[in-house]
Amino acid sequence: MIHILKTEIGDVPCVVRLLNWEPYKPAYISGAPENCYEASGGHGDWEVWVDDERAKWLEDDMSAKDIEKLEDQLFYMMEGR
């Protein structure tokens, strides 16, 4: 199932299509210290679309800050935190 997020990148209104999502699993310890497990998941593959067309040019122009903001929005949408 593809999930849709309406957002803006820079000043460009767009739609982000989330193609898949790996659910977030928090870090935990189960008994002895050697049974420590790091947090995992909480991310997925996405594409940016503008006016019903894939906007690869916009994806390529995204700064690290733009990507972090977008991935935070996707995380909140999927995990509710």
The tens digit of pLDDT for each residue in 23-61 reads 999 999 888 878 889 999 999 999 999 999 999 999 999
- Number of domains the chain is built from: 1
Of 42, 59, 44, 43, whose CA–CA distance to 7 is shortest?
Answer: 59
Of 13, 20, 42, 40, whose CA–CA distance to 28 is shortest?
Answer: 40
The tens digit of pLDDT for each residue in 10-23 reads 999 999 999 999 99
Q: Which domain holds residue 18?
A: 3-79
Separation CA 23–CA 80 (nearest Å): 11
- pTM of structure: 0.85
- The CATH number for 27's domain is 3.30.300.260
Q: pLDDT band at residue 81, thresholds of 50, 70 and 90?
A: low
Does the pLDDT value for residue 69 go beyond 90? yes
